[in-house]
Amino acid sequence: MIMKSSTAVAKMTLDGEEVGFTPGETVYEVAERHRREIPTLCYDPRLEPFGGCRLCVVELEGARAPVASCTTKAEPGMVIRTRTDAIDAHRRTLLELVASENRENDVDPLRGYASQELATLLDRYDARTGRFAGSHSGRTRDDDDNPFILRDYDLCISCYRCVRVCAEQQGDYAISIKNRGFATEITTEFSGLLRGSACVFCGQCVQTCPTGALADRKALANAEVPGKIEKTRTICPYCGVGCSVDVMTKGERVVGVQPAMDGPANEGALCVKGQFAFDFVHHHERLVKPWVRGEDGRLREASWDEALDRAAQGFLKAVAEHGRYSVYGIASGRAPHEAAYTMQKFIRMGFGTNQIDNCSRA
């Protein structure tokens, strides 16, 4: 049988098993696909591999030292071991070093989508040993009073995911790295506040942070609300891009929003409105009852029976006095299909006319 070269699959050995890969894939991607659980902290599948945290190291036969799987391209004939005692010990030590730097490692999941990554790995590798003590890097920016993004850099592990997501995904280059080693700071131009920098408060840095050092202040304000966090997948209520979001609720309360990393329109991105402008839902000015205009010309609360009868009678009266063309319907570009569909059917079935439009002309 003649095999076309384009369909030939390159092969490598992964933990003793021969596996195929597509040229261009990294060792990490191949291993992921084959359900190996390689730990990472600086990795975000949407970003260029960085190779900073060194947790994803694997043994490559013939190499002098373990290699970072996220930055190593798969090559035919490679022999890779993703878990050995030596690799596990290496990962545990690294995690212990990282953990020793932080004020705390267990943070509220309301801080952000990826905020539990470090704590989860510490448990997986049994790395809560307190083996190391001493210097800490990162200082929380208490002076930044913006209502959306908490800059709790005491928890920063310098993975630079925030810096990279802002540059590579959001394209705004609002945050950067200053200094090196224990003096490393994640900061804005001239070390100022986020407001006044190129930051547009899209929240992408918050959602990729693996320790909760950057945190969703609005969600975190609900930390004390009792109950377990539930997530419901829906679509952002603002512009027409149609970003997928997970609405976080505790009981009957919306406590925050997280972008859907697999949302087809947004792939993990949101803007300031979709990320942070959600609490109008529970605003005290919400209409919670029907209202009708009373004899005195003022609107007053009414029963459903009274309101619906008033609504229906008004349309019937208009038709009786002025004919069926006198009734007009305006559908909303904010409400779902079911609203627009029933609205046009109401006009067409109710009056036999096409006296219907939506708000797209203005």
Partner 1 sequence: MSNPLADMDKPDVIFCIGTNMTECHPVAATRLKQALARGAKMIVADPRHIGLADLADVYLPIRVGSDVALLLAMAHVIVRDGLVDPVFIAARTTGSEAFFEHVGKFTPEWAQTITEVPAADIERAARIYGEADRGAIYYTLGITEHICGVDNVQSLCNLMLMTGNVGREGTGINPMRGQNNIQGAGDCGALPNNYPGFQPVTDPANQAKFEKAWGRKIDLENGITKVTALNLAGDRIRAMLIDGENTLLSDPDRKHCEHALRSLDHLVVMDIFMTDTAELADVVLPATAWAETDGVCANTERRVQRLRAAVPPAGEAKPDWWLISAIAKRMGIKGFDYASAKDVFNELCEVSTIYHGLNWDLIEDGAYHWPVPEKGHAGTPILHQDKFKNGRGVFMRPQYRDPAETISEQFPIWLTTGRRLESYHTRTQTGRSEGMDYLLPEETLEVHPADVDAWGLTDGGWCKLTSPRGSVEVKVQATNRSPKGTVFASFSFSDVPINALTGSGYDPITETAELKVCVVKVEPCEGIISPAPVI
Query: Residues of 149-159 as b/e, b for ≥16 C-beta within 10 angstroms?
Result: bbbbbbbbbbb
What gap in Å lies between CA 333 and CA 238, rounded to an integer? Answer: 10
Kindly report the backbone phi and psi dihedral angles of residue 267, in degrees, each rounded to the nearest multiple of 5, phi listed first.
45, 50
193 is an interface residue for partner 1 by CB under 8 A: no
Phi-psi region of 126 (alpha: psi -120 to 50; beta: other; left: phi over 0): left
Of 120 and 354, the one with the shorter C-beta distance to partner 1 is: 354
Q: How is 113-131 classified by DSSP, letter by letter? A: TTTTHHHHHHHHTT-----
Minimal distance in Å, beta carbon 202 to partner 1? 7
- Candidates 10, 87, 200, 229; binder of partner 1 (CB under 8 A) is 200
Supply the minimum distance, in Å, between the C-beta of residue 206 and partner 1.
14
Could you tell me which stretch among 9-17, 102-110, 153-161, 279-287 binds partner 1 (CB under 8 A)?
A: 279-287
Nearer to partner 1, 70 or 202 (CB): 202
Amino acid at 187: T
The Cα 237–Cα 281 span in angstroms is 11
Kindly tell me which residue out of 23, 76, 227, 237 binds partner 1, with binding defined by CB under 8 A: 237
Query: Per-residue contact track with partner 1, 35 to 74, x per CB under 8 A?
Result: ----------------------------------------
Residues 320 to 349: which contact partner 1 by CB under 8 A?
Answer: 321-322, 325-349
Task: Considering the complex, state which of residue 59 and residue 152 has its C-beta at the smaller distance from partner 1.
Answer: 152
Q: Is 192 in the site for partner 1 (CB under 8 A)?
A: no
Give CA–CA dist 276/212, Å, rounded: 17
Interactions with partner 1, residue window 249-278 (CB under 8 A): 249, 252-254, 264-266, 269-274, 276-278
Q: Is 70 exposed, middle or buried (0-12, 13-18, 19+ CB in 10 A)?
A: buried
Amino acid identity at 35:
R
Q: Does 189 bind partner 1 (CB under 8 A)?
A: no
- Rounded CA-CA distance 245/262 in Å is 10
CA distance 222 to 176: 29
According to DSSP H, which parts of 15-130 are helical?
27-33, 85-100, 117-124
DSSP conformation class of 26: B
The reply on whether position 244 binds partner 1 by CB under 8 A is: yes
Q: How far is the CB of 115 from partner 1 (least distance, A)?
A: 20
Query: Least distance to partner 1 from the beta carbon of 189, Å?
Result: 15
Q: How many residues sit close enough to partner 1 to count as binding (CB under 8 A)?
A: 110
89 vs 312 by CB, closer to partner 1? 312
What CA–CA distance (Å, rounded) separates 110 from 214?
11
CB nearer to partner 1: pick between 31 and 347: 347
Neighbours of 200 (CB within 10 A): 14
Instruction: Check if the beta carbon of residue 249 is closer than 8 Å to that of residue 259.
Output: no
Min separation Cβ 6 and partner 1, Å: 19
By the rule CB under 8 A, 362 interacts with partner 1: yes
Binding mask 165-184 for partner 1 (x = CB under 8 A): ---xxxx-------------
Using the rule CB under 8 A, is 220 a contact of partner 1? no
Q: What's the min distance (Å) between Cβ of 301 and partner 1? A: 10
Which one of 71, 100, 140, 358 is in contact with partner 1 (CB under 8 A)?
358
Residues 298-317 within binding reach of partner 1 (CB under 8 A)? 299, 304, 307-312, 314-317
